[in-house]
Amino acid sequence: MNSASGNKPGKGTLTGDQLDRIFDEGEDVLQYADLEHPIVEHHPPREKPENIEARQQANAHEGKVFTSIDDLMRDLG
């Protein structure tokens, strides 16, 4: 199997479909991975649960304040 037959790509870039097909056929796909230059994804740190709860409480309080102001304005208007 060589790249000329279209069954197994040679060195170079593989498409996702080609890699899927190779994997589905039970072949080792690690030989196609660039293990010397791995892609490292950065994920920002997760917010602490207490910060999430504090933000939710602040939003709830803010909503109550706006509702109270709206009610007051309706009473005056």
**Using CA atoms in the order 48, 49, 55, 57, what is the torsion angle rounded to 10 degrees?**
-160
**Which amino acid, residue 32?**
Y
* One domain, residues 56 and 75: yes
* One domain, residues 34 and 53: no
* One domain, residues 50 and 36: no
* One domain, residues 73 and 48: yes
**Which amino acid, residue 23?**
F
Q: How many domains does the chain have?
A: 2
* One domain, residues 48 and 30: no
* CA distances for 41 relative to 30, 37, 44, angstroms: 19, 12, 10
* One domain, residues 77 and 47: yes
Q: Which domain holds residue 23?
A: 1-40
Distance from C-alpha of 71 to C-alpha of 77, rounded to nearest angstrom: 10
Q: What is the pLDDT of residues 26-61, one digit of tens each?
A: 999 998 888 888 887 878 777 777 777 878 888 887
pTM equals 0.35
* One domain, residues 54 and 77: yes
Token digits for 45?
Answer: 């740190």
Token digits for 70?
Answer: 């709206």
